[in-house]
Amino acid sequence: MSQRLQSVRGMNDILPPDAIRWEWLTARVADCLRRYGYLPIQTPIVEPTPLFSRAIGEVTDIVEKEMYSFSDALNGESLTLRPEGTAGCARAVIQHGLANQNALRLYYMGAMFRHERPQKGRYRQFHQIGAEAFGFPGPDVDAEQILLLARLWKELGLSFALQINCLGQPEERARHRADLIAYLEKHASALDEEARRRLYSNPLRIFDSKIPTTQAICADAPELPDYLGEDSRAHFAGVTRILAEAGIAFTVNPRLVRGLDYYNLTVFEWITDALGAQGTVCAGGRYDGLIAQLGGKPTPACGFAIGMERILELIGQDNARGEEAPDMYVVHQGEGNGERTGKLAFQAAEQLRDAGYRVILNCGGGSFKSQMKKADASGADYAIIIGDNEAVAQSVLVKPLRDAGREQEQVPFPNLTPFFSHHFSHRKN
Ligand code: ATP
Ligand code: MG
């Protein structure tokens, strides 16, 4: 018995109505990024596995349990479907020497893969739009990225809460970490198993725990902000000052740590309660150590990633309404000489497409009646009707489909585009 073929669990088809909204969103985000000087970069979906274990950190959810890794059948090299975009971006920057002379701003969009439990807002193939700025050590670029995102949400008609925190520098984290481990050791018997396992490998991640007893212990644990030195504090003060000057509301959350190891100094998340459990729509921060850690010349860096599916869920159906429908549907049938009507139909459709209209040409024949039904169902604003009489007169019949008050009109073929540029002044061109 043959099994029904289905998409892989947690990996979804995006069908035309949603895919149209998808394109609408990506175009808007790209436009916003370009206004801040970010340029697009595309990196492969598959990378060598060590890139991710080195960049993201061995003791992280992603590297420990979420990666789709496999060995290349030809040479046995371990490869991984990218779980995020920063590591590949950083690799490309090093490989091509992009950050050697100039600071640069890059953005990417595309599919990411994580082996998680699929649920609303959490998939195994999902999509991110991310931006990375390389070569800027100061707090200005961190703040500028947040301004960019605030503008983007406003342009999309969305509203999110901003949480920020300062993770300091590795030495500061080390001192905090030592005290934290000492504190957690005292309470080890009350911690859950995963927290105990992480006690020495990645104790900061214990703050991410969703388990109440562990959370309760975390509530009294030593906090990182108390360990920050002057430079870290000054950097953070720089970020918050620019945000305040720009009128951007934020909450400092000293518990915000982020699931990836590579962050330092600024980290931030944009959060909504409109999505249930999966409330983070965008996360980012500074990762000054990553490029050097991957073998490049030390280069400060700061970036963020937006979860596309979560944003699309919030944008809903409204924004791309009517986008599916063509502008015109060309109906054509010749009793005596179908060839002549067909030729005129092709010419009319091409002429209108030249002018930027979306035109569906009836393909596959059918009676006038059935073609008119299809025209109506297509959602087109106009039917363009071409029969024998029209072919002889070199004109077409334009029938408004959505505007009951308006009469159909005979339009001479050469005047077709001018006719529509008059009627469609509110649309294209
Ligand atoms: P979470 O805590 O929700 O697992 P994360 O810290 O793993 O998030 P990041 O790696 O920072 O997430 O990714 C940035 C954004 O990408 C998230 O804020 C979210 O919007 C989105 N995202 C992450 N994982 C998924 C997923 N499995 N499915 C859909 N979107 C995701
Ligand atoms: Mg995650």
Q: By the 8 A CB rule, do 124 and 67 touch? A: no
Q: What are the tens digits of pLDDT across the range 269-295?
A: 999 998 888 899 999 999 999 999 999
Residue 425 domain-assigned (yes or no): no
Residue 127 domain-assigned (yes or no): yes
- Same structural domain for residues 35 and 136? yes
- Same structural domain for residues 48 and 149? yes
pLDDT, residue 321, reads 54
Q: Where is average pLDDT lowest: 16-20, 80-84, 302-306, 395-399?
A: 16-20
Residue nearest to atom 28 of ligand 1 (CA): 122
- Same structural domain for residues 338 and 310? no
- Same structural domain for residues 281 and 346? no
Q: Ligand 1 centroid vs 114 CA: distance in angstroms?
A: 9
Q: What is the mean pLDDT of the segment spanning 116-122? A: 94
Residue 184 domain-assigned (yes or no): no
Q: Ligand 1 centroid vs 84 CA: distance in angstroms?
A: 9
CATH of the domain at 58: 3.30.930.10
Q: Which of 315, 346, 381 is the last residue of a domain?
A: 315
Report the distance separating Cα 399 and Cα 408, nearest Å: 4
Number of folded domains in the chain? 2
Residue nearest to atom 11 of ligand 1 (CA): 283
- Same structural domain for residues 122 and 261? yes
- Same structural domain for residues 376 and 260? no
Q: Tokens 């003791």 correspond to what residue?
A: 59
- Same structural domain for residues 234 and 381? no
pLDDT at 339 over 90: no
- Same structural domain for residues 61 and 157? yes
Residue 13 domain-assigned (yes or no): no
Q: What is the mean pLDDT of the segment spanning 145-158? A: 97
Residue 12 domain-assigned (yes or no): no
Q: Which of 264, 284, 315 is the last residue of a domain?
A: 315
- Same structural domain for residues 339 and 403? yes
pLDDT, residue 428, reads 46
Q: Tokens representing 402?
A: 């959505």
- Same structural domain for residues 80 and 160? yes
Pocket test residue of 86, 120, 126 for ligand 1, highest count of atoms within 8 A of CB: 126
Per-state percent for the chain, helix, strand, coil, to nearest 5: 45, 20, 35
Report the distance separating Cα 125 and Cα 306, nearest Å: 14
pLDDT at 268 over 50: yes
Residue nearest to atom 16 of ligand 1 (CA): 307
Pocket test residue of 280, 309, 311 for ligand 1, highest count of atoms within 8 A of CB: 280
Residue 383 domain-assigned (yes or no): yes
Q: What is the pTM of this model?
A: 0.89
Q: Which of 251, 280, 315 is the last residue of a domain?
A: 315
Q: What is the mean pLDDT of the segment spanning 148-171? A: 95
pLDDT, residue 421, reads 86
Specify the 3-state DSSP secondary structure of 236. helix
Q: What is the mean pLDDT of the segment spanning 379-391? A: 94
Ligand 1 atom closest to 62 (CA): 7
Residue 340 domain-assigned (yes or no): yes
pLDDT, residue 429, reads 38
If phi over 0 gives left and psi between -120 and 50 gives alpha, with beta otherwise, what is residue 296? beta
Ligand 1 atom closest to 124 (CA): 27
- Same structural domain for residues 69 and 97? yes
Q: By the 8 A CB rule, do 238 and 139 touch? A: yes
CATH of the domain at 363: 3.40.50.800
CA atoms within 13 A on the CB side of 278: 17
pLDDT band at 254 (very low <50, low <70, confident <90, very high): confident
Q: What are the tens digits of pLDDT across the range 9-62?
A: 999 999 988 899 999 999 999 999 999 999 999 999 999 999 999 999 887 889
Ligand 1 atom closest to 258 (CA): 6
Instruction: List strands edge to edge, sheet with 359-361.
Output: 359-361, 328-332, 382-386, 395-400, 409-412
- Same structural domain for residues 305 and 333? no
* Concatenated DSSP letters of 283-315: EEEE-TTHHHHTTS----EEEEEEEHHHHHHHH
pLDDT at 423 over 80: no
Cβ neighbours of residue 291 under 8 Å, at least 6 residues apart? Answer: 90, 93, 94, 99, 134, 297, 298, 299, 301
The residue range of the domain holding 380 is 328-419
Residue nearest to atom 7 of ligand 1 (CA): 259
| CB-based pocket (< 6 A), ligand 1 | 84, 114, 116, 121-123, 126, 128, 259, 278, 280-283, 305, 307, 309-310
Residue 144 domain-assigned (yes or no): yes
Q: Ligand 1 centroid vs 355 CA: distance in angstroms?
A: 42
Ligand number nearest to the C-alpha of 261: 1
